[in-house]
Amino acid sequence: MQEAALREPSPAGRGEAIQPMLETLNQGSTPLSRITHDASIDFGPSLRVERFLLGNGLRVLILEDHHAPVISLQTWFGVGSRHEVRGKTGLAHLFEHLMFGETENVPPGVFDRTLEEAGAETNAATSLDWTFYHTNLPREALESALRLEAERMTRLILRDPQVASEKEVVSNERRQRVDDDVDGAVNELLYKEAFREHAYGWPTIGWMEDISAFNTADCLDFYRAYYAPNNAILVIVGDTTCAHALRLIQQHYGARAPSVIPVEDVRPEPRQVDERQVTVKKPTVTHKLAIGYKSPALGDFDHAPLVLLNEILFCGRSSRVHRALVQEQEIVSEVRGWVGSFRDEGLYDLYLAARGERTSAEVLEALDVLLDQVRREPVLPSELDRAKARLELSLLQGMETTSGKAEQIGFYETVLGDPGALFQRLAAYQRVTLGDLLRVARRYLLPSTRTVVHVAPSGELPPDEGEEDDDDDGDNDAQPGADGADGADGDGDGDDGDDGDDALTAEEQIH
């Protein structure tokens, strides 16, 4: 089997071929279906992503990749839980489930059945800033996949029984991911406490009472507001050509009208000036500790250095926190750290599982010593070099499949407006200095801007404690705030590696 490469020039990257192709495609086109070439954008050292625009506002990003006879087709919508309002949380995610239902020309169940019969795998994910739908398909199935995607973008039919049934599914998903899962529940609480104004404070999956209260009208309003070609990015990576893909896109999307997308109404998070601490009881065997420091937005200059600092502190067995707390002091069994990758300022969230009878307070005390150290003095040059190499490896590993490339293209186009931003980040990592790390440690690892969740096993706390007891609250202004969701890097011998930054945090697995 042939393998193409990050190293080989994409045929579509040869710009001179594009204009004649468009002239042919645009013969007889309507204003809505007319295609223009917006840019050729570097994607790594030699590949180029071609960005096209349809007259109706649909953005199309194509990367030809002829490794294998497969294609990854993704549709990224500029809507996530940040676009919801209190009382209607979880709507973006519920809606994502509903998008696999009936449309004007596709009866219930036929969407999945058609794609499965073609050998395709399809799914979706919702996060704070976006929602995306992805299908990995044999190249022969591109036309039927595009037909189905275009159909559901504007011709979805919503009926009460389907909405009711899907609410049940989402409620069960929530039980699985949050209510009966210590990690999930703690993460949700961490963001709730850290963000009191900004939409990042509520969970993407939504509060259970909100999920229960949705009706069909809520879903229809949401659909009409956000699902339109001018709020979507189509990403195609794989064994096709620009000309072929664009002809199909023009055919299936060219008649879809744009709509007026609501003005975003996100409230900046007031600056946190005091540490927030919460203690909860959970049916778990050991104490846990979750900490969220307010952290920069993905597009911020400080984001890359903070990601590197996280590598040095939390990622892999040679990281400082793992070495000190897991290996030397033996007071925790698991450590994770993740810098939120969001459009607005977010959380640098940390998670530690105490070992044996150790309490979260003991773990916090030991962790603070290590965090204080990186605020006081530079890390070693060798630590920074290792962190850079780890992130480079992680980036390369993420590029192995067509879907891996498509996710990076779609994510960075959606959040930063640049499909090749991943590689710019790699370059930014290489430029980071010891001084940069010292600066971000001092700027972001501040007790006054952190939220701490202590988890004690059920039954261990006296009755007057527990259950979300805030103390040392504090609000007050500024640091437009940020986001939330999982993240990680554990380690352990079985599965070391990975982590890194660009985590596409999401709710969802099976639709």
Partner 1 sequence: MSSTPIFVESSRALPLVSAVVAFRSGAGHDPAGREGLARITARMLRRGAEGYTAARIEETTDSLGGELSVDVGFSASSVHLEVIKRSLDPFAGLGATVLSRPTFEVRELERLLREAEAEIIESQDLDQVLCSRAFRRTLFTSHPYGRPSEGTVRTLRTITGDDVRAFYRQHYTRRNAVVAISGDVDQHEAQDLVARILADLPEGTPATDPIPPPLQRPGRHLVFVDKPERTQAQLIVGSLGTDAHDADHVPLLIANTVLGGTFSSRLMQEIRVKRGWSYGAYSHVSYDRHRDAFSVGSSPAANDASACLKLTLEMLQAFIERGVTEDEFEFAKRYLIRSHAFDIDTARKRVHQSLVEALLDMPVGYHESYVARLEAATLAEANAAIHTRLSFDNLVLSVVGTHADIGQAIQDVIPGLSSVEVLPPGFDQM
Shortest Cβ 383–partner 1 spacing (Å): 9
85 binds partner 1 per the rule CB under 8 A: no
Shortest Cβ 285–partner 1 spacing (Å): 5
Choice between 120 and 416, CB closer to partner 1: 120
Choice between 182 and 445, CB closer to partner 1: 182
359 binds partner 1 per the rule CB under 8 A: no
492 binds partner 1 per the rule CB under 8 A: yes
C-alpha–C-alpha distance, residues 91 and 215, integer Å: 10
Alpha carbon dihedral 141, 145, 148, 151, in 10-degree steps, equals -130
51-70: which residues touch partner 1 (CB under 8 A)? 67-70
Shortest Cβ 483–partner 1 spacing (Å): 24
181-200: which residues touch partner 1 (CB under 8 A)? 181-183
468 binds partner 1 per the rule CB under 8 A: no
Q: What's at 508, amino acid-wise?
A: E
C-alpha–C-alpha distance, residues 378 and 58, integer Å: 47
121 binds partner 1 per the rule CB under 8 A: yes
Q: What are phi and psi of 85, to 5 degrees?
A: -125, 160
Among 16, 382, 427, 463, binds partner 1 (CB under 8 A): 382
Shortest Cβ 403–partner 1 spacing (Å): 9
460 binds partner 1 per the rule CB under 8 A: no
String of DSSP letters for 62-94: EEE--SSSEEEEEEEES--GGG--TT-TTHHHH
Choice between 180 and 209, CB closer to partner 1: 180
Alpha carbon distances (Å) from 381 to 18, 432, 433, 437: 46, 11, 9, 11
495 binds partner 1 per the rule CB under 8 A: yes
Beta strands in 109-148 (DSSP E): 121-126, 131-138
Tokens of 90: 């979880």
152-181: which residues touch partner 1 (CB under 8 A)? 164-173, 175-176, 179-181
312-331: which residues touch partner 1 (CB under 8 A)? 316-318, 323, 326-327, 330
Q: What are phi and psi of 110, to 5 degrees?
A: -75, -30
* The total number of residues written for the chain in this structure: 511
399-438: which residues touch partner 1 (CB under 8 A)? 399-402
C-alpha–C-alpha distance, residues 41 and 13, integer Å: 9
463 binds partner 1 per the rule CB under 8 A: no
